[in-house]
Structure 1
Amino acid sequence: MTAPTTPTVVLVHGAFADAAGWTGVIAELQRHGIPVIAPPNPLRGLAADAAYVASVTAQVDGPVVLVGHSYGGALITVAGTTENVVGLVYVAAYVLEEGESLGELQGRFPTSLLVSNLKQWTYPVEGGDPAIEVTIAADAFPSVFAADVAPDVTQVLAVSQRPLAAAAFEEKATAAAWKTKPSWALVAGADQAINPDVERFGAERAGATVVEIEGASHAVAVSRPKDVADLIRDAVRATG
């Protein structure tokens, strides 16, 4: 009889950030002997990004717990149908229903500060017109994204954002893995990027095990890495 395999944790960052935002969480997980990888999220569109995450996940030996922050939550909802995924963890994230877009989910609730503080850029598309991508206005970034993170850190994060293709807000999820996989969710109680009610609604709809952190900003993985890692460890223990 073979011993149980500890699932590998795959951490999927969201928009306006990169995998470095998981640094504190990675350190916590590694300290407990949990295998973890944090791939880059292309941030070019829901279908394409979810396909990339699914491809990374499928190449991991053994079971996987997929973790998505923010927009990354939408991606794990679709990519989580990959056969070796055994659990989903949403961190201050969008939890979509099949056939639903980010815009549709957000539209049910009062808008967050994020919406009025987006800056548009363009990027080239081979064979077509330039496409639009968005970042958070640098001066608004601390209050919108990371109000509980040290100012010297937020200044760096504000100017090193990775933009999200604007088209991602309108693409519809082609699957909802939480219907067949167990899920956990962390709600950031003081989130100004995603209305916490959006996080609560999605988590409840998915039947997720929910933890809410009062006063936590959208950058909860940076400001409260132990709390985030503890929830991920719960998922690993439950699925391993």
Structure 2
Amino acid sequence: MLRLATALAALMLIAAPAWAQQPAPAKPTVILVHGAFAESAGWNGVISRLRAKGYPVIAAAVPLRSLKGDAAYVGALVSAEPGPVVLVGHSYGGEVISVAGAGHPNVKALVFVDGLAPEVGESAASLGARFPTATLAQALAPPVVLPDGSADIYISPAKYHDQFAADVPTAEAALMAATQRPIVKSALEEPAAALSWRSVPSWFVWGSRDLNIPPALHAFMAKRAHAREAVEVPGGSHVVMISHPDLVAAMIERAAQPGQ
């Protein structure tokens, strides 16, 4: 009886179609890139949801010293991955992923979360000047002058909640204000030297009450990039990955699907 069962099992294996014998393809690695006035832990809600679905995730700790340098850092992470990668950028991190994705054929998708997608020659500052309705400048603390003469900028802790994270609980926003990573002012003025959103499929999501980057600018960039999806979250602030992690994680999953 045992021999018969073994023989039947072997026969079923031989008769099974070839596709049924192939291992499931590995899921792409998701690299999450924070922006200015934030840090990598801001992705925690999205990370937990992606990991539960089996996605490898890296939340990069971006230096925020220069667009060129930040993009080179993220590009090195991409180069270290043997398989496909989905790049996800928040705010200034959108600029970083767009530049970093250029020249990396394993980048299969870009997801901009309240993120900037500049054309070559554009900067965060120049895009903001074209859509001058944000209130970030009024919310900044006095700059911290560094030994080399450059200046770090922060959002004033007293204004952080209303400016940056109005749809996040007050206590959580207070922690975010205390742990915010500053950016060198010149990085926001540095023009993008490359881009990848013209050749790599893109997805955009932003809050309708984003006070750092105007919703009209988000819509303009998404249309210009011929985004696969462009979603405006009603009442969402500049940090929809924190206030709406389910929605953002689901978009990243869609971007990661084969054939996109």
What TM bracket, shorter-length normalisation? over 0.9
Structure 1 residue corresponding to 2:234, chosen from 210, 214, 219? 214
In 1, the alpha carbon distance for the partners of 2:120 and 2:89 equals 17
- Does the CA contact (< 8 Å) of 2:27 and 2:54 recur in 1? no
TM-score w.r.t. the length of structure 2 is 0.87
Q: Shift of the alpha carbon at 1:142?
A: 0.3
In 2, the alpha carbon distance for the partners of 1:5 and 1:175 equals 29
Structure 1 unpaired stretches of 5+: none
Deviation per CA, 1:122-169: give whole Å up to 9, x if none: 2233xxxx2111010111100000001011111111121110000012
Structure 2 residue corresponding to 1:158, chosen from 168, 177, 180? 177
- Does the CA contact (< 8 Å) of 2:37 and 2:155 recur in 1? yes
Q: Which residue of structure 2 lines up, in the alignment, with residue 121 of structure 1? A: 144
Structure 2 residue corresponding to 1:231, chosen from 223, 234, 251? 251
Deviation per CA, 1:9-67: give whole Å up to 9, x if none: 00000101110000000001011111111010110011110111111111012000000
In 2, the alpha carbon distance for the partners of 1:110 and 1:18 equals 26
Structure 1 residue corresponding to 2:87, chosen from 66, 78, 86? 66
Tell me: higher relative CO, structure 1 or 2? Use CA pairs within 8 A at least 6 residues apart.
1
Query: Does residue 103 of the first structure (1) align with residue 125 of the second (2)?
Result: yes
Mark the structure with the bigger radius of gyration: 2
Runs in 1 of length 4+ with deviation above 2 angstroms?
1-5
Q: Shift of the alpha carbon at 1:195?
A: 1.0
In 2, the alpha carbon distance for the partners of 1:95 and 1:2 equals 36
In 2, the alpha carbon distance for the partners of 1:68 and 1:104 equals 19
Structure 2 unpaired stretches of 5+: 1-21
Structure that is richer in helix per residue: 2
In 2, the alpha carbon distance for the partners of 1:221 and 1:198 equals 19
Q: Which residue of structure 1 lines up, in the alignment, with residue 213 of structure 2? A: 194
In 1, the alpha carbon distance for the partners of 2:255 and 2:35 equals 20
Query: Does residue 142 of the first structure (1) align with residue 146 of the second (2)?
Result: no
In 2, the alpha carbon distance for the partners of 1:111 and 1:121 equals 25
In 2, the alpha carbon distance for the partners of 1:31 and 1:239 equals 22
Q: What secondary structure, in the 3-state scheme, does the structure 2 residue paired with 1:218 have?
A: coil
Q: Shift of the alpha carbon at 1:5?
A: 3.2
Residues 187 and 142 (structure 1), Cα distance of their counterparts in 2 relative to 1, 3 Å cut: same
**Which amino acid letter does the alignment assign opposite residue 239 of structure 2?**
A
In 2, the alpha carbon distance for the partners of 1:3 and 1:98 equals 38
Query: Does residue 49 of the first structure (1) align with residue 80 of the second (2)?
Result: no
In 1, the alpha carbon distance for the partners of 2:55 and 2:133 equals 37
Q: Pairwise CA RMSD of aligned residues?
A: 1.4
**Which amino acid letter does the alignment assign opposite residue 219 of structure 1?**
V
Q: Shift of the alpha carbon at 1:180?
A: 0.7
In 2, the alpha carbon distance for the partners of 1:3 and 1:142 equals 44
Q: What secondary structure, in the 3-state scheme, does the structure 2 residue paired with 1:61 have?
A: coil
